[in-house]
Chain A
Amino acid sequence: MGKQDDILNNLQQELRKGTLVLAVLSQLFKPHYGYSLVETLNDKGLRIDQNTLYPLLRRLDKKGLLEASWDTKEARPRKYYKLSSLGKDVFDQLKKEFHTQNKMIQLLLEEDQQ
């Protein structure tokens, strides 16, 4: 059972990984800083490791999908991220792709149940 749990955990992680970028991009139409985004995603049911999210934001920023800026007006400076115009285009494409994949998987799963 131990080995099975390991396999299941790994595969569940792979499944979640596939949709993580889409989930993160979906929340960045409004500016967020790392910690507020973790809380927002957690509140909506998506548990995400901080150690995964923060570097992911940085990578998406480097790819040009996000615009990052430091807000130094508050007592503690915060780095905010929001979607760039490229990010919005990519998000739209990814969303379509996800819906297509989702329909396909639903069909496959329904076939399996018949």
Chain B
Amino acid sequence: MTYLDRYLYRVKKLLPKKDKEDTINELESLLLEQIDDLKANGLSEEAAEIEAIKEMGEPSLVAANYISDIPIIAREVEPYLYVVMKIIALVLPIGILIADLISYLSESIKRTTMEILIHIVATLPHMVMGVITAYGILFVVLLVNKRVIHDEISKQDREFNPEKLPKIPSKEYDVKLGETIFEIIGGSFFIYILNFNQGLISIYFDGNQYPLLNDHFNTLLPFINIGVLFGIGISIFHLFYQRKTIYSGSAKYLQQLYSAIILFFLASAPIFTNDIISTYDLEIVPVIFKVLLIIGGIGTVIGSSVQFIKLLLAKD
């Protein structure tokens, strides 16, 4: 894998979808021409690559130039802006909807399906407002960054060093942005429900709400929290570095094995409120949960082991 490959990979990641392939093919062709010229002038292959890439400039600046020629915010930040905007557009409305539904459903009033659907529709303007507000805040932050911070920083000599470009990760080491964000949000949501809104995991019967989980579950809760928080931490690491490493992959595997053990513990422990189960003749519910927990545990062990073996066998 050459410096040129790494460079083109980074630029390609930041280009908009439209004309991406054509732009990268052209950029590659042009850089190769320049590399040939530099080699003809006596430079080695590697030195010529580094020199050509250096002259072209940082990947984010190159991508920004292809996106627009009117910079409102710092040029090298522009490509990331579009990524963040896409994440906000996807994640924020879902988060608002889920939070609102939880609040709506946790009121001790029986709701019909129609009422729930009407409530979801009524939440739509809030979702739109949330996204618009978030975009507004984002632009203000980036504008302030450009006017106040960036211009000061760019006065200092920051040399772009192609040798420090990260290697192109193989498929197993590549991080999918959407998946990682989902893991973080899902994990946070899980922690919130189990620690601050456990009442949601209840039986709703005859207009009343009966919590399903007893104190045995609460004894295991700190261990569940540790596993989930560790998983969130690893996802944040992957999001920040935009790639996995053998160490983070190993940590993820250990976290998943730990989670599987917790699932097996939960399946074997008496975590359900017996009074409620027997009073309302719901013996099948704990059985179903146990089966699901065991299947979940086995699935986690097998799935995580397969992923980890693939990671070990893949070249980084």
**Chain A residues with a Cβ under 8 A of chain B:** 33-35, 50-52, 54-56, 58-59, 76-79
Contact = CB atoms under 8 A, between A and B. Distances in A.
B276 interface: no
Nearest to A62: B19
Interface residues of B, number: 19
B65 interface: yes
B30 A51 contact: no
B152 interface: no
B25 A54 contact: no
B62 interface: yes
A55 B65 contact: yes
A36 to B, nearest CB: 8
A50 B31 CA distance: 10
Contacts of A55: 65-66, 69
Interface in B90-145: none
A54 B23 CA distance: 9
Contacts of B30: 33-35, 50, 54
A55 B57 CA distance: 13
Contacts of B32: 76
B69 A79 contact: no
Interface of B (DSSP majority class): helix
B26 interface: yes
For the complex of A and B, the 4 pairs showing the least CB-CB separation, nearest first, are A35-B33, A55-B65, A34-B30, A79-B26
10 contacts: A51-B65, A54-B27, A54-B65, A59-B69, A76-B33, A77-B29, A78-B29, A78-B33, A79-B22, A79-B26
B56 interface: yes
A110 to B, nearest CB: 34
B55 interface: yes
Interface string B46-79: 0000000001110001100110010000000000
A51 B25 contact: no
B34 interface: yes
Nearest to A39: B37
Contacts of A56: 69
Contacts of A51: 56-57, 61-62, 65
Interface string B1-22: 0000000000000000001001
A50 B56 contact: yes
Nearest to B63: A55
A50 B22 CA distance: 17
A59 B19 CA distance: 12
A34 B69 contact: no
